[in-house]
Structure 1
Amino acid sequence: MIVVPSGTLAYMTAESDETDRAVASDSRLGSRAPAFVQRSRPLHAVWRAGIFLVGLAVIGGGVILLPLPGPGWLIIFGGMAIWGTEFVWAQKVLRWTRRKVTEAARAAADPRVRRRNLVIGTLVVAALIGLAVWYVCSFGFTVPWRAG
């Protein structure tokens, strides 16, 4: 939310950094707290602290899940989305991330990139198979260390 010189409230749109008074409620930057919470400064501060702690707990769980099997990155972005309901910087990070993921998906769909990735993947798999065949031919199926 931004207070413009005329004293009225305006919202920044998610598509640009310009203020606009007539935007959809889902594309504005800033707090999405209920109106009664936004009217009271102390209540809004408590609301923001609660959102911060909940988002921090979710992100912490995602960080713990990164080395473990599980959707760690998905949970981290979920925590950022929780923060994005209240904090402009988190909304901007999510917007930037969404833009970069879209660009990467578009680039990966390019036939030349797909062909290059297929060739590189095929060469890597062929090299690994060649190393496995060389090892089996040289040493047999025994492992080079003592088990047990």
Structure 2
Amino acid sequence: MYAESDQRPLGSRAPRFIKASRPLHRTWQVLIFVLGLAIVAGGVVLLPLPGPGWLIIFAGIGLWATEFPWAQRVLRWTKRQVLEWTHRFQARRHERRRRKEIKEKQYVR
């Protein structure tokens, strides 16, 4: 039930030359955090308005997940929850269609 991305190890996905220098890597992490925070904040502002507020929030978390293990775990958990919800929704829809077909067959007789 786990997605393929769950198999990847947690940790930074920064380029090697950035990881090679500790000060450069810290600067990179701060930049990623600030950009992710701006995206998440923009998504939160858009939540009460019609539009893709949640999608923007998840994009910000996705950006954080390129650098921070805690965000990778949050993103993996979110993906699993969305997959489970989607499977439940599809199963319910399939069951409703099946019941409707049975009703129609009984009505025709």
TM-score range, shorter chain: 0.7 to 0.9
Distance 1:105 1:112 in 2: 10
Q: 2:53 aligns with which of 72, 79, 91?
A: 72
Q: Secondary structure at the match of 1:109?
A: helix
Count residues in correspondence: 92
Q: TM-score, normalised by structure 2?
A: 0.78
**Distance change >3 Å, CA 72–CA 114, structure 1 → 2:** farther
What amino acid is the match of 1:85? T
Q: Decide which of 2, 7, 11 is 1:30's aligned counterpart.
A: 11
Percent pairwise identity: 57
Q: Distance in 2 between matches of 1:87 and 1:37?
A: 15
In structure 2, the gaps of 5 or more residues are 97-109
Distance in structure 1 (CA, Å) of the matches to 2:73 and 2:36 = 16
- CA offsets 1:91-131 (integer angstroms, 9 cap, x no match): 0100000001101111111147853xxxxxxxxxxxxxxxx
Higher-RCO chain (CA-CA 8 Å, sequence separation at least 6): 2
Q: Which has the higher Rg, Structure 1 or Structure 2? A: 1
Change (3 A) 1:30 1:110: same
CA RMSD of aligned residues (A): 1.7
- Structure 1 spans left out of the alignment, 5+ residues: 1-12, 16-26, 116-148
**When you count helix as a share of all residues, which structure comes out higher?**
2
